[in-house]
Every structure is written in C-alpha cells, then in structure tokens.
Structure 1
Amino acid sequence: MSTAGTAPAPTPWWQSFYGGLQKMGRSLQLPVAVLPAAGILNRLGQDDVFGKDGLGWDNVAKVFAAAGGALLDSNLGLPLLFCIGVAIGMAKKADGSTALAAVTGFLVYHNVLLAFPDRDQCTGTIVGNQCIDYSAHTSSAAVFQNPGVLGGILIGLMSAWLWMRYHRTKLVDWLGFFNGRRLVPMITAVAGLALACLGLWVWPPIGRAMTDFSQWLADLGAGGAGIFGVANRALLLIGMHQLINTFVWFQFGEFHKPGTDEVVHGDIPRFLAGDPTAGQFTSGFFPIMMFALPAAAMAIAHSAKPHRRKEIYGLMTSVALTSFVTGVTEPIEYSFAYIAPGLFVLHALLTGASMAVTWALGVHDGFSFSAGLIDYVINWGLATKPWLIMPIGLAFAVVYYALFRFVIVRFNLKTPGREDDDQVEDVTKA
C-alpha cells in the first residue's frame, strides 16, 4: 500500500484574490498611520494658530505648514508614503531593502511623469515645470498626469512582487556584488520607468472615469455622502474599506491655496489646507465614531447576562473610549459584525444616514486620521458648523442604543456577554 500523502487541493483563484485584497487593505493602514502627524503639523501652521491671526509667529507657522504639507502633498508626499507602506505590507518577510526598492521605483516613475507636462492645460508656454503667459505676464505651475496615491500603490505592489521574486537571485561571479537585495532596486527602477510610460498613455481615460464617478457622488450632495458612508462601512466587514477611501479622500477634487501656485487634491488634504467646500466624505463619521458606536457598546454591555455584566462593562467601556477619543472603531464593530450581522447592516445604513444628515445641515469637518475627539478639537477652527456634530451625535447615540438593545434582546443575539455557558471559555480566549 502506498504511504504517499494526497496532494493538497489547489486554492481557488477567488480565495487567493480575496485574500490579496484583504492583505492590501491592511497594508494601506501603515501609511494612513502617518497622517495624524501630518494633520497636527499642518494645523499648527494655519493662520489662526501660529500665523497672523493667532500668535503672529509667521515664520514658525511656515515651518509647521511646510512640514505638514510635505506629507500631505498629493503629487509626491502621499503617493510616496503609500508606495512604501504597500511594498512593506505586501512583501513576505520584507526588510529595509524592500522600502529602498519602492523609493527607487517611485522616484524614477515620478520624474518620468514630470518630463511630460500636459500642454492642453497651459494657455501659454511650458518652461520647465511652469506655464508662462508672456502676454499677461503671469505664470503658474504646469499640469502633469497625476495618478497620485493610486500610482504610489501600484509602484508599491510592483516593488513587493519584484522583491519577493528577485531578492535571492544570484548572478554570475563577476557580477556577484549585485546579487539578491542589491539587484532589486535596479530592476524596480526599470519597472518604474515602464510603468510611468504606460501611465502617460492609459491614465487619462482611467482618471477621468474615476473623477466622473466621484464627481457624481459629490453632485448628489447629502445623498452622495450617504452612499459613500454605507459603502465604507460595508467594505470594513471584509477589510477592504481603504480601497474606496483612497481616491475620494486623497485624490478627488482640487483646491488652489490662496496666494500660492499649490494645488491640493483629495477631500482630507483639501480640508486641512483650508478648503471650505471639503468634508463631504468625512463629516458624517464624527457623530458615529464619537457618540453612536460608544452608545452601541453600552447597549451590548447592558444586554449581557447579569453574572457577566461587570466583565463586559469593562471591555465595552474601554473600546467605547477608544472610539470616542481616537476614532478607532474596529474593536466595537468586530465585536458584533460576525456574530450579529444584522446589527452591522443597521450600522452601515445608519452611518450613511449620518453622512447624509450632517452634510445636508451644512457641517463641513474633516480629520487627518479618524473622526475622534482628537481630530474634532484640533480641526475645530477649520470646520464649518462643527458644534452641530454634538447634537447630531447625541441623537444618533439614542437611536443606536435603542435599536441595538431591542434587536439584541428581541432576537437573543449572542453578543459579548450573552454566549452560551459552554462557549464562554473559547470566546474569551479568542
């Protein structure tokens, strides 16, 4: 009798694809984690803090604004951050050479794009990176093809794949110095050049299609904000919400900063740069993250079995405070998402409602990291009607608490603290 083991069945392509998307979603969290620093630096550089309308320390304000602006720059800073983050997150056993390869590929790619300004967007003459109108004696920054953050993500993915494929490669002896990790940046540079040339050709129609879709959402006003809110929370359930955030938050729209040639793209960078029209795709998260989800956490605690209520109170109070202060909501959401998916459907729909209501009432607010108390306080001076977030949030808190408490008890959902006694040990270990 043969003792040879049976070969494992190949993984279905759709499972591999889904797993890859989830991994990329997690990889996008790394560059997003840098944004709080960018937001704080940018905020300190505003006129009403260290600038002319605040302490009057103009040069200090310039330092902070330049520092924050470097990280929020939609042409270089943000795409480079996402490029490095994705490369490190997607490559197995990544190290410093993975990041070096990503930076190498991105810089080559970026400079090739800069070599071909869009002449159709210039009414004068292109000189270097400037569009000069000699008859009007004016000049402005030339316009280039700008895949932005999405381009950085593509370079990051490409760098991760090339690193995994070639970081152990051995060349002939006389080229031994370029073995392995030293070879990858060289290959990535060539790949970055090729991707830039391809981007010059294929990006314009893709960019227009994505911009048109985002513009359609923006033109819907409160309805568009609501649709985005529902989609954002629905995709969180499978770990891919960052995929739809990327273009809308970091690339869609443009704002010309007063007194400069700088153009800022993306709902978040535009808000932080002082654009009074920004915040359509961020404002409505504040009532949910600061008020509604903490109320849902209390509903879960109050619904726990009496002998487990003290334990669940401690757990839910902790995650509620995390959501309120920082805007990190996953600990609450994952506590009921998979064991009570009906509650998560309600949560997604109510998030969309919050987005729609907040925007319809003229609230324009934004964040650098998430919609928690820290961003709410820091960005109060940049926001429009930020005070309305408190009554809106309290109203949603009442709705969340009442609905969650009713649904949990009425349908006997096994939320934390309500599990069968023989499952308690397994649940707490998880």
Structure 2
Amino acid sequence: MKAYMQKFAQSLMLPISILPVAGLLLGIASFIDSGAINGEGNSVANFLANGGLAVIDNLPILFAVGLAFGMSKDKNGAAALSGLVSFLVVTQVLKPEAMAKVLHIAEDKVDIAFTGISNVFIGIICGLVTAAIYNRFKDTKLPTAFAFFSGKRLVPILSAAAMLVISIALMFIWPPVYNGLVSFGEMISKLGPLGAGLYGFFNRLLLPFGLHHALNQVFWFDIAGINDIANFWSSKGEAGITGRYQAGLFPIMMFGLPAAALAIWKNAEKRNRKVVGSLMVTAAIASFVTGITEPLEFSFLVAAPMLFGIHALLTGISLFIAATFHWTAGFTFSAGLIDYLLSLSIPIANKPLMLLVLGLIMGVVYFIVFDFAIRTFNLKTPGRDGLMEEAAKQDPSLEEDEEGTSTNNSGVKVSNKTKLIYEAIGGNDNIEVIDHCATRLRLTLKDTSVVDQDKIKQSGALGNKVISDKNIQIIIGTDVQFTADELMQMQQNQGH
C-alpha cells in the first residue's frame, strides 16, 4: 500500500506541473489589465487570460488523464485516452440534466452534489480505476473474431463499462461524500488562521512520504470547496482569505530554508565546506527561485530528523501568521520568487509585500534555531558526518573524461554520481523499477537492506529515504531525470 501511495503522489505531479503555464498566462494578463480574468478590458489580456483559464477550469480532466497515464505500468498513451473516456462517461451520466431524466424529477430537485460532479476528486477516481484496468488487461487477447479489440484497444471499452457501474454506485455514494467534504472544508475554514497553520505543519510532515500531495488536494483544489489556487488566480474569492493556504509558504521557501542552508554550511567541518557550500547554494537557489524544496529538506531529513520537525513547526507558524494578518499571495507551481512576482498582479492578492517582511524574520529565526540545534545536539548534517570529503574524491575505478563523466566496462558514459548510486543499490541483481519525480529517484528494489548508505552519500546525492523493504527514494535535485536515464542505460546494458 505504501508503494502504491508513493506512485500515486508521484503521478499527481504530472497534472500539477501544467499549472505554471496557466499561472504565467494569467499573471501576464493581469499585469496588462487587472480586469482581464473577468473578461473585461484589454483584448490581448483577455486572450492570454482565457488561455490560462483553459487549464485552471479543466483540472479534473487533467487529473483523470494524468493519473491514468502516471499510474500505468508502461506510461502508454492508451491509458491516458482511457482516463479521458472514463471521466467523460461519469460526468455525462451524473450531470444534473441526466440525473433528472433518470430519476424522473425536475432538474432543480436533483441533489446539489451532482452540480459538482466534474471535480478533481472524480478525476482522481477515474484516473486510478482506469490505470488499474489498463495494468490488468492491456495484454489481453480476445478470440479471433474480436481480435481487433485485443490488448490496449480493449482498455477504453472496459473503462467505459466500468465507469457506468461506478456511476450507479456514485448515484448513492456521491451526495453524502460531497456534502461531507464540504462540511470538512467548512470546518477547516472556520478554524481560520489556526486551520492554515495546522495545514502547513502537516504539509511538511507528510513530505518525506510523498503524501503531502494528497493533503494538498483538499485545500488547493475543489475537493472540499476551498479551491484555494484556482480561486486566487481567477480572483473569485475574498481578499485576505483566498490564498491563505499558500501565502505562508513563501516566507519559508524564499527565506527560511535558504537560511537553514546557510546554517548547515556554517556548521560543516572546514575541510568539507567547499563541497557542502556548492550543494547548499544550489538547493537554496532552487528553493528561493522556484519553490522546489526537496533537495534542501532531504539534505537534513534523514541525518537530523529533529531539524525537520522544527521546520514543519515553523512552516505552520508562518502560515498561521500570514493568515492572521490576511497577507495573501498565490502560486501555480510552488512558493518561489517566480510565482510570487506573478501573483503580485492578481487583484485579490492582499498586502503581499508583507510576506517579504515575514520572510526576513523567518530567515533569521531559521538560521538561529538551526545553528543552535546543530551545535547543541551535534546533529550530523551534511559536512559533519565525515563522508562529504570522500564525496569530493573521484572513484579510482573510474576513467574520467573531460566532462566529469566516466566510461564503464561496457562503453556506456555515465556520471560518477550515477555509477556510485548504481553500485550502492546493488546493480541489476537488485533493481526492479527505476522511476523519478521532480527531484527524487524512486526505486523499487528486491531488497533495500543491501543498499550501501555510505556509497550513496559519497555519490553526492542530497539524501535518501528507505520507504519499505523494496522501495527507496534518493534525492538528486532538479536534474534527476538525467541520473534516472543513466541508471536505465546501465541497467539495459548490463542486462545484455
């Protein structure tokens, strides 16, 4: 189950990764003319705004397609198409007009829950069910008379049939679920700033398991009626309220975590500071500019979990403070400088410059707290565990070329980092599946107990997390795709 949830969280990143495009278009449109989002004013701004809203308004479809694709074993387009078919079937069958005919009642008598059937939650269900059908039946062979519909062609047909059955169940299940989710959202909303603070705290605590994405669905999208991201960028909410589940993250990602990186560098052994400095600067820049925090957070998560607990607490405090004073800004990807600047032009943003003031304060707090904790409790942050010096040395078994890559015995050029990771995880004898998300290698191994933790650290990886007996995540950074590709090359070559 844990491995399944990990893959689910990873697959959510595909539709979510499209949001920056929408944010960019809406941000530019609002900068040109703040009324463009509501269909007013400048023609060019309206044109750009509609392009952005095309993504925001169709998030449920993107989740259905993205999850069906991401959860499929071989990432095939047939799975994505089937996800679309599933979503269209459910939303067509359960829309109020159709339900009125099925139940033989007036349309205004249909439960209000069915007016919200086209939402991210339903999109997620469609995507997951479709992926399960695809993985089970993609290689099915039918009798000769029906052979044309065998294999992947069978999946959309089965998906449509399955969703008809599920639609019948949803006729009875969806109303109480929908109303329950709305009540949950209202309960959190009534907690006001405290609710925002609790969300921030648990958001970070779930990060190591990749489950923070599931929590985000409740607050950022329209599952529980909060829909914080879409309402902020379309300026449909309330100034000072809409964006409260996003705003407090800007001070953390732009100031707090970079300050933590400075504290980690300061406390590294002098002989290791050059190596640690290069790692921390890269991770801090990623956090500040883009809001991608995992490279930095995982650098101290495993070695010093106490610091991660402190980080989660401070994140909750930041969201609480921002929500208390009604300082709001929003993001489409993450709480970095790019999204911050784009959100400044959104009409509903409220006193966003105060988030910079809060950020400076949180930066000072992070540095003092991290510096004190590292020294007082002798925490083994990067550069204090005796391994960073080894990480800077080249593996003597490698033959270096001018670009810092190495050629293994089979003639495949890979980086030293990749070769060390390949050896650390046990090579082909232990590898089952190689995958990755935005910053992490997500590996399925036969046995994680044989993984050489020291060699992973020597590779220069920013950290790793053993999820289960078969699953491990290794933190690489934003260039993780290239490491994953090289690992796959080595795996394929060694398998010949």
Structure 2: distance between partners of 1:423 and 1:209: 54
1:221 equivalent in structure 2: 192
1:342 to 276, 300, 306: 306
1:260 equivalent in structure 2: none
Residue 205 of structure 2 is aligned to residue 234 of structure 1 = yes
Residue 361 of structure 2 is aligned to residue 377 of structure 1 = no
Deviation (angstroms), 1:159: 0.8
Instruction: Report percent identity of matched pairs.
Output: 39
Equivalences for residues 304-315 of structure 1 within 5 A: 304-315=268-279
1:286 equivalent in structure 2: 250
RMSD over equivalenced CA pairs, Å: 2.4
8 Å Cα contact 1:104/1:185 also seen in 2: yes
2:321 equivalent in structure 1: 357
Deviation (angstroms), 1:422: 9.2
Residue 5 of structure 2 is aligned to residue 24 of structure 1 = no
The amino acid across from 1:406 in the alignment is F
The amino acid across from 2:458 in the alignment is T
* Structure 2 CA distance for partners of 1:180 and 1:428, relative to 1, 3 Å: same
Structure 2, unaligned stretches of length 5 or more?
Answer: 101-105, 392-454, 462-496
The amino acid across from 1:428 in the alignment is Q
Deviation (angstroms), 1:57: 6.2
The amino acid across from 2:230 in the alignment is P
Moved over 3 A (4+): 50-54, 115-119, 421-425
Structure 2: distance between partners of 1:61 and 1:53: 6
8 Å Cα contact 2:327/2:351 also seen in 1: yes
Structure 1: distance between partners of 2:229 and 2:366: 27
Structure 1: distance between partners of 2:390 and 2:116: 56
The amino acid across from 1:169 in the alignment is T
Deviation (angstroms), 1:200: 2.4
8 Å Cα contact 1:167/1:184 also seen in 2: yes
1:283-303 residue CA offsets vs partner (Å, 9 max, x unmatched): 110100100001001111111
Structure 1: distance between partners of 2:179 and 2:168: 18
Structure 1: distance between partners of 2:129 and 2:184: 26
Equivalences for residues 40-119 of structure 1 within 5 A: 40-46=24-30, 48-50=31-33, 58-73=42-57, 77-116=58-97
Equivalences for residues 111-260 of structure 1 within 5 A: 111-116=92-97, 126=107, 144-146=115-117, 148-251=119-222
What secondary structure sits across from 1:278 in the alignment?
A: coil
Structure 1, unaligned stretches of length 5 or more?
Answer: 1-16, 120-124, 132-140, 255-264
Deviation (angstroms), 1:346: 0.3
Structure 1: distance between partners of 2:49 and 2:19: 14
The amino acid across from 1:93 in the alignment is D
Deviation (angstroms), 1:348: 0.5
Deviation (angstroms), 1:115: 4.9
8 Å Cα contact 1:303/1:405 also seen in 2: yes
Deviation (angstroms), 1:270: 0.3
8 Å Cα contact 1:233/1:241 also seen in 2: yes
Q: What TM-score results when the alignment is normalised by the length of structure 1? A: 0.84
8 Å Cα contact 1:23/1:90 also seen in 2: yes
Deviation (angstroms), 1:359: 0.8
1:323 equivalent in structure 2: 287
